[in-house]
Amino acid sequence: MVKLFAVLRETAQTNELALDLPAGATASAAVAALAEQIPTVAKLLARSACAVNQTYVPLDAALNDGDELAIIPPVSGG
């Protein structure tokens, strides 16, 4: 399951979706698949962080069946 937050959620018009990825896929592969499935979020994904099972991970982190991948866009505050 992929969870989307903030502007990603708003742009994709959903807060979560399932991706069908091959065994051994990485977070980077999931991000690429998401960009292909929802092209309107592609530019935002390039600057977003990934977390697997609530732990931030690098894009080369392997995903396992049943993992929860959260994609968190950059935020600005003031």
Return the domain boundaries, the chain: 2-72
- Specify the amino acid at residue 44: L
Cα distances (Å, whole numbers) of residue 25 to 8, 62, 76:
22, 6, 30
2-72 topology per CATH:
Ubiquitin-like (UB roll) (3.10.20)
- Given a contact cutoff of 8 angstroms between Cβ atoms, the answer to whether 13 and 38 are in contact is no
Query: Percentage of the chain with pLDDT > 90?
Result: 88
Backbone torsions φ then ψ of 14, nearest 5 degrees: -160, 150
- pLDDT for 40 equals 94
- pLDDT for 34 equals 96
- pLDDT for 41 equals 94
Give buried/exposed letters for 42-64 (b at 16+ CB in 10 A, else e): eebbeebebbbeeeebeeebebe
- pLDDT beneath 50, residues of the chain: none
